[in-house]
């Protein structure tokens, strides 16, 4: 497949961290919680509509991001969701949560107050650790902006 096109609204809200096989990994700019978004390269909109083999590959990518959140970032809880009511193109949320965070126990959508931004150093650090741990192909720093 060719270069994946990511919806403008997601790019406006997120840093582009890198790519897996047939998917792109974003990180929401609001650093209040570690909010990763996996964008599978598919014309389908809903996670539960994916063909079995594709879905299993996509889930494994989500599992690897969840393991990064838990084992490297120290979160006990991960919220997982595919909604797409506002941006129809399929994108899956993988979000580290803890009882002390900015909108616990509410879901993040519509409830997360504006938070700090990520530094360029932090983004590079997470990219490096994700690449080592999950096989993510890091995007170039220019793509973070």
Asked whether position 12 contacts a second copy by CB under 8 A, the answer is no
What is the separation, in whole angstroms, between the first and last Cα of the chain? Answer: 25
Among 4, 9, 21, 56, binds a second copy (CB under 8 A): 56
Name the residue nearer to a second copy (CB basis): 2 or 105.
Answer: 105
Asked whether position 106 contacts a second copy by CB under 8 A, the answer is yes
Angle of the 52-67 helix axis to the 120-134 helix axis, nearest 10: 130
Name the residue nearer to a second copy (CB basis): 17 or 144.
Answer: 17
Q: How far apart, in whole angstroms, are the C-alpha atoms of residue 93 and residue 62?
A: 9
Between the alpha carbon of residue 133 and those of residues 15, 32, 66, 89, 144, the distances in Å are 19, 23, 11, 27, 20
Name the residue nearer to a second copy (CB basis): 80 or 129.
Answer: 80
Q: Which among 138, 120, 115 is positioned nearest to 28, based on CA atoms?
A: 115
Among 84, 102, 124, 134, binds a second copy (CB under 8 A): 84
Asked whether position 115 contacts a second copy by CB under 8 A, the answer is no
Among 8, 86, 114, 121, binds a second copy (CB under 8 A): 86
Q: Does residue 115 sit in helix, strand or coil?
A: coil
Shortest CB 120 distance to a second copy, Å: 28
Among 104, 117, 120, 125, binds a second copy (CB under 8 A): 104
Within the chain, strands assigned E span 14-20, 23-28, 35-40, 77-82, 92-97, 137-138
The footprint of a second copy (CB under 8 A) covers 45-49, 55-56, 59, 62-63, 66-67, 77-86, 94, 97, 104-107, 109-111
């Amino acid at each position: 497949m060719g270069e994946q096109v990511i919806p403008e609204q997601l790019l406006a809200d997120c840093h582009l961290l890198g790519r897996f096989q047939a998917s792109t990994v974003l990180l929401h700019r609001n650093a209040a919680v570690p909010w990763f978004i996996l964008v599978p390269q598919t014309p389908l909109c809903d996670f539960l509509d994916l063909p079995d083999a594709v879905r299993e590959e996509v889930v494994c990518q989500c599992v690897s991001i969840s393991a990064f959140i838990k084992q490297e970032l120290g979160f006990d809880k991960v919220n997982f969701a595919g909604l797409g009511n506002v941006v129809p193109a399929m994108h899956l949320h993988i979000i580290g949560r803890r009882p002390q965070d900015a909108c616990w126990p509410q879901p993040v959508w519509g409830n997360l107050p504006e938070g700090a931004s990520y530094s360029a150093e932090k983004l590079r650090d997470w990219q490096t650790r994700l690449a080592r741990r999950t096989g993510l192909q890091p995007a170039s720093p220019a793509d973070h902006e």
